[in-house]
Structure 1
Amino acid sequence: MKAAVWYGQKDIRVEERELKPLQDNEVTVRVAWAGICGSDLHEYQEGPVFVPVNEKNDLTGEVAPLTMGHEFAGVVEKVGKDVTKFKVGDRVAINPTLTYGNKPEDLDCYDGFSFIGLHGDGGFTKFANAPESNVYLLPEGMSLQDGALVEPTAVAVQAIKEGDVRLGDNVVIFGAGPIGLVTANAAKAAGATKIVVLDLSEERLEKALELGATHVINSGKVDPIKAVYELIPEGADVTFEVAGVAPTFEQAIEVTRPRGTMVIVSIFARPINWNPIQLTNKGVKVTSTIAYTPSSFAQTIHLMGTGQLTPQGIITSEIELDDIVDKGFEALTNDKSQAKILVKLSGEK
């Protein structure tokens, strides 16, 4: 079967790969749709970041080259003999997070932290295997395209929880890529009053307004700090750093009110220079989040199924697997009007 395989920086190849044997506790999913994530883009542009290259990953037992893709949904094709919760034909989304499972749920995603599609073979292919515990049933009325959006939306749901966003809070989001956009959507669902999104792309800022932002700022045209304080004179209750660069890291702290919270959501593929005296002077709390708990993943499916979360607007393109490099990774690198690109596998809805 064809698969998009990571070999190295700027080296993703669509080639024939064999599906690994199904384990007793796994299901085989016929992949319908898979999204290209910012983490995937980091691996393409700057990798390896997460992909194991010198030795096998402890949890997956795999090493590059490996099939990418961790945002995917599809239909159960086959079940292992120990699987009890799913049957052939079930429509499912995959939680790609793998851990040792030895910690309480709120700490679990830091207990090993590996990903299907980054640390082992994933969903940019026709069929993919996943442990039963990582498979989630989709409710009626929720499409398989929606299922491919659960993973990035769950990242935003977890970020909102980490920031303890409450009814009436004022929120500022630095970065209007896919995660920034769904963070705006999740902040709206959580009851934030003002939701301000900053980016350099007018097209992405328009998307932010569609997804729940109340105000947008093009930080390439105005002083972003001054612009935020004009909208929120007292400073934001919670800010989200979703751009992954040094200037926005500092700006996010600067526009947060004293004793407010700045949440790091982005992945910094490389170190930045920053002086912690900024925190001393501002009195801001800084926290971070990576991935999501199993409960947050399940809650995301429920909230999408009921229409309380509506991330569908982040989709800007649908492409074929054969075009994943040129129309996927290169498009996301060079065209800032792109947000979420979905790769069509079976194409089932």
Structure 2
Amino acid sequence: MKVAVLKEPEVIQLEDIKKPEADNDYLIVEVKACGICGSDVRYYKGENPWALHTLGKNLPNPPNIILGHEWGGIVHEVKNPEFKHLLGKRVAVLAYNTCGVCEYCRNGNYNLCKKTMHIGHGAGWGTMDYYPGGMAGYCQIWNTHVCEIPDSMSFEEATLLDPISVGIHAITKSDIRPGDDVVVLGTGAVGLSIVQAVKAFGADKVICTDVYEGALEIARDVGVTRAVNIQQESLEDGMREIGMNGANVVFDTVGTAETQKQALHILRESGTLVNLVANMTQASYELMDLAGEKRLITSANNNSSDFLLGIKLIQNGTIQAKKMITHVLPLDEVQTGFDIMLNKEQQKVMKVVLVP
């Protein structure tokens, strides 16, 4: 089968390798669509975003990672009789599995498990010739980690379930309440997901920012209260325009010293700042910046309930996933897909989807 393999930083190439086989633990999905995530771009550049978020340190990546953790397809082969009913089903995948016995797993925080095995990441597998990922004709996935999707949802839309569930997980950490006003800093795929999903949690006014006008156009199209291009106007002016006097919740999907400072400045007393980015940036603040019971928390990864809610929010129209997809390319053009993602402002891109 054909796969897109990250050989080393900034070297991704197509190869033909043996198709994986089902066994008692894994079934095989024929991949119908796979998204290029922002974290895939970071892997391409040589970073390890999973290790930064979950382990708190940057680790080198092994060679021969088949990238891709945002994917869906049709169950092609099942070995375990208990899961035979899944054969032929249209599915999206939960791309990571955990040890199940550590303190994090047993306390329900399995998204923080240090022994995670991750499709498309190279994490947790030990040494392998090729690390499995969704940028392939077929991919193995744990029997327990496929979720059926409705016929009304395209496979291309299903590729957005991972960033949507990451956004939903951040919302669940925020202690949001009905009627709260929300600011989302950064309007990439996760930011756009938050902008839409907070409606299901009762948010009132929602404002988002970016320097990329293409992303802000999509945000306006999916119903954000106000979208602010911070190269052209200030966030504070945009907030005043819609009668927003501070924010109850701020989501920072950018992760710079500047966005941290701005987020704390606009946060109301007893409000919550949720950081979704882990990097090596040094950000400073004064203790007074947290006065008035302001909270600063982080959000990492997602869990199965977030993923299942994401399916429902696409299905009922709360999240308009189709409007977030700007490019669909054949897998043969994977390098073009990464080139587009690396120059997204010039290419007017939000989500690039590869179709094997």
TM-score scaled by length of structure 2:
0.87
> Which SS does the other structure have where 2:269 is aligned?
strand
Structure 1 unmatched runs, 5+:
53-61
1:92-171 to 2 correspondences below 5 Å: 92-102=91-101, 103-104=105-106, 106-112=108-114, 113-119=116-122, 120-171=131-182
CA distance in 1 between partners of 2:223 and 2:106 (Å): 33
Partner of 2:261 in structure 1? 250
Partner of 1:2 in structure 2? 2
Deviations 1:130-188 (A, max 9, x none): 00111111123222222222111111111111112222110000001111111111112
CA distance in 2 between partners of 1:104 and 1:12 (Å): 38
Q: For 2:212, which of 187, 194, 201 is the aligned residue?
A: 201
Q: Do residues 332 (structure 1) and 341 (structure 2) align? A: yes
One-letter code of the match for 1:39? S
- How far the C-alpha of 1:230 sits from its partner, in A, is 5.4
1:25-104 to 2 correspondences below 5 Å: 25-50=25-50, 63-84=62-83, 86-102=85-101, 103-104=105-106
CA gap of 1:276–1:116, structure 2 versus 1, over 3 A, is: farther
One-letter code of the match for 1:25? D
Partner of 2:56 in structure 1? none
One-letter code of the match for 1:97? Y
Q: Do residues 237 (structure 1) and 248 (structure 2) align? A: yes
- How far the C-alpha of 1:105 sits from its partner, in A, is 6.7
> Are the counterparts in 2 of residues 185 and 311 from structure 1 also a CA contact under 8 Å?
no
Partner of 1:280 in structure 2? 290
CA distance in 1 between partners of 2:9 and 2:236 (Å): 35
CA distance in 1 between partners of 2:94 and 2:45 (Å): 24
CA distance in 2 between partners of 1:290 and 1:211 (Å): 25
> Are the counterparts in 1 of residues 261 and 285 from structure 2 also a CA contact under 8 Å?
no
User: Over aligned residue pairs, what C-alpha RMSD do you find?
Assistant: 2.2
- How far the C-alpha of 1:258 sits from its partner, in A, is 1.4
Number of aligned residues: 334
Which segments of structure 1 move beyond 6 Å, counting only runs of 4 or more? none
CA distance in 1 between partners of 2:77 and 2:107 (Å): 29
Q: Do residues 211 (structure 1) and 222 (structure 2) align? A: yes
Partner of 1:224 in structure 2? 235
Structure 2 unmatched runs, 5+:
53-60, 123-130
> Are the counterparts in 2 of residues 265 and 289 from structure 1 also a CA contact under 8 Å?
yes
CA gap of 1:88–1:105, structure 2 versus 1, over 3 A, is: farther
Q: For 1:312, which of 300, 316, 322 is the aligned residue?
A: 322
- How far the C-alpha of 1:252 sits from its partner, in A, is 1.7
CA gap of 1:99–1:145, structure 2 versus 1, over 3 A, is: same
Deviations 1:79-138 (A, max 9, x none): 122542643211100010221123247411112344211124110010000001111111
TM-score scaled by length of structure 1:
0.88
- How far the C-alpha of 1:225 sits from its partner, in A, is 4.2
